[in-house]
């Protein structure tokens, strides 16, 4: 487990992290999301000791991340693979040599049969068997990121930290990279922390997500609950919700659908039972891993509020009146 307790960090006179607290469980894929400047990357760099923090505490399996204890920090960093947006591959080295680089850095003999087998196995894992001797300039952006992932796995890490790892990639290539990260998480049991501002990343792979805003944790929870039913105004703005374009007359009521609730014709049933017509003003469906979650906004007459709410409660539909 990674435990972050009341962590604060400033650069000169600017407070970047303002008392961050959260827990990341073993073997989960945890997302950290928010606008640029929210403190996401700084927090990630504090977790792996690339940045110090002013106060609070970060522990990994009970061990404090302390940049003053160089020996312990180095051993802790060995347990953490890091993937960056810019790939950070050495242009003069081919794919095989780039993947082997961390092993060489730690003084391992990469010429043994066991080391060669391990490196080739990692290259195969990321689907680049035919690019073993290719230089980075011969690779696409997605292929470069796959090399970076293989390299990050070279020391058998328990944690994989991804800092905007798909931001420079197009949507189709991003899907492939995310599928690879899911495979690594499921087959190797590696805990993955993903810093991103891309909603698609969170929806496809994260089981839990923290939303940061201005150096503070605004909300933590399942992405489907956080993004389909956003309660904080800043999250709604981040998601570009359409509530500002809703009718100004009558009442607007928002319905939320999860799992089997998506299969029921709730609006039709309610219209027939209450003998009322309702205006559907706005709706969306979101794919979260294997499930589809959705929400829609109905415009109703004020005098119908009690009967509508009673019907929705009877059908176990989650709802809220939009003010």
DSSP string, 241-284: -SGGGS-SSSEEEEEEE-GGGGGS-HHHHHHHHHT---EEEEEE
Decide if pLDDT at 199 tops 90: no
Specify the DSSP element, H or E, that contains 42.
Answer: helix 40-47
**pTM more than 0.75:** yes
pLDDT given for residue 225 in this prediction: 76
The answer to whether the beta carbons of residues 192 and 160 sit under 8 Å apart is: yes
**Rounded CA gap, 131 and 146, in Å?**
11
Q: Measured between alpha carbons, how far is 321 from 305 in angstroms, rounded to an integer?
A: 9
Distances in Å between the Cα of 290 and the Cα atoms of 19, 172, 233, 283, 286 are 34, 18, 28, 20, 11
* Tokens coding 165: 């790892």
Using pLDDT thresholds of 50, 70 and 90, give the confidence band for residue 260. Answer: low
Per-residue pLDDT, 234: 74
Query: Does residue 321 carry a pLDDT above 80?
Result: yes
User: Taking 90 as the threshold, does the pLDDT of residue 233 lie above it?
Assistant: no
Mean pLDDT of the chain: 88
Per-residue model confidence as pLDDT tens digits over 58-100? 999 888 998 888 888 898 989 999 998 888 899 999 999 999 9
State what percent of residues in the chain have pLDDT above 90. 56
> What fold characterizes domain 2-229?
Rossmann fold (3.40.50)
Rounded distance between C-alpha atoms, residue 48 and residue 46, angstroms: 6
Tokens found for residue 41: 């990357």
Instruction: Answer whether residue 237 shows pLDDT above 60.
Output: yes
Identify which of 249, 316, 317, 310 has the alpha carbon closest to the alpha carbon of residue 274: 310
Domain boundaries, the chain: 2-229, 242-322
Contact (Cβ atoms closer than 8 angstroms) between residue 147 and residue 128: yes
Q: What is the pLDDT of residues 126-150, one digit of tens each?
A: 999 999 999 999 999 899 999 999 9
Question: Which listed CATH number (3.40.640.10, 3.40.1390.20, 3.40.50.10540, 3.30.70.260) goes with 242-322?
Answer: 3.30.70.260
Q: Kindly report the number of other CB atoms within 10 A of residue 59's CB atom.
A: 14
Confidence of residue 13 (pLDDT cuts 50, 70, 90): confident
Mean pLDDT (whole number) for 139-162: 93
Query: What whole-number distance in Å separates Cα of residue 176 and Cα of residue 179?
Result: 5
> HSE on the CB side for 221, CA within 13 Å?
11
Please give the pLDDT value at position 197.
85
Is residue 174 within 8 A of residue 198, CB to CB? The reply is yes
**DSSP 8-state secondary structure symbol assigned to residue 164:** S
Residue 295 has φ and ψ, to the nearest 5°, of: -150, 155
Would you place residue 168 in the very low, low, confident or very high pLDDT band (cuts 50, 70, 90)? confident
What tens digit of pLDDT does each residue of 214-232 get? 899 988 988 877 777 676 7
pLDDT for the residue numbered 1: 87
pLDDT digits (tens, 9 = 90+) for 176-185: 999 999 999 9
Q: How confident is the model at residue 282 (pLDDT cuts 50, 70, 90)?
A: confident
Average pLDDT, stretch 18-42?
92
Is residue 24 within a helix (H) or strand (E), and if so which, with residue range?
strand 14-24
Residue 201 to residues 131, 175, 194, 254: CA-CA distances in angstroms?
Answer: 26, 8, 8, 25
Q: Identify whether the C-beta of residue 162 lies closer than 8 Å to the C-beta of residue 32.
A: no
Render the burial of 64-87: b for 16+ CB within 10 Å, e for the rest: ebbeeeeeebeebbeebbbbbbeb
In this predicted structure, what is the pLDDT of residue 308? 94
Closest by alpha carbon to 221, among 288, 125, 162? Answer: 288
Both tokens of residue 119?
Answer: 């490196």
């Amino acid at each position: 487990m990674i435990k972050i307790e009341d962590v604060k960090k400033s650069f000169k006179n600017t407070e970047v992290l303002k008392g961050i607290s959260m827990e990341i469980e073993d073997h989960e894929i945890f997302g950290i999301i928010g606008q640029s400047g929210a403190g996401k990357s700084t927090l990630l760099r504090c977790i792996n000791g690339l940045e110090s923090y002013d106060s609070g505490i970060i522990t990994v399996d009970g061990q404090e991340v302390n940049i003053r204890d160089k020996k312990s920090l180095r051993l802790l960093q060995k347990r953490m693979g890091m993937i960056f947006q810019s790939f950070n591959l050495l242009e003069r080295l081919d794919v095989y040599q780039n993947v082997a680089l961390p092993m060489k850095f730690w003084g391992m003999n990469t010429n043994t049969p066991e080391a060669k087998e391990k490196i080739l196995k990692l290259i195969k894992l990321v689907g680049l068997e035919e690019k073993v001797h290719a230089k980075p300039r011969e690779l696409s952006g997605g292929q470069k990121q796959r090399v970076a992932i293989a390299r990050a796995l070279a020391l058998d890490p328990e944690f994989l930290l991804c800092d905007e790892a798909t931001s420079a990639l197009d949507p189709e290539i991003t899907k492939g990279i995310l599928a690879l990260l899911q495979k690594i998480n499921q087959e190797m049991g590696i805990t993955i922390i993903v810093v991103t501002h891309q909603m698609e990343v969170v929806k496809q792979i994260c089981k839990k997500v923290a939303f940061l805003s201005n150096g503070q944790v605004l909300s933590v929870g399942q992405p489907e609950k956080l993004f389909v039913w956003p309660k904080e105004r800043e999250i709604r703005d981040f998601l570009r919700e359409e509530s500002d374009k809703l009718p100004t007359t009558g009442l607007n009521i928002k319905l939320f659908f999860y799992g089997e609730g998506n299969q029921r014709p709730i609006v039709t049933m309610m219209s027939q039972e209450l003998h009322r017509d309702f205006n559907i003003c706005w709706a969306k469906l979101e794919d979260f891993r294997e499930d589809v979650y959705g929400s829609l906004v109905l415009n109703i007459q004020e005098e119908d509020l009690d009967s509508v709410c009673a019907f929705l409660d009877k059908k176990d539909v989650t709802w809220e009146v939009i003010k």
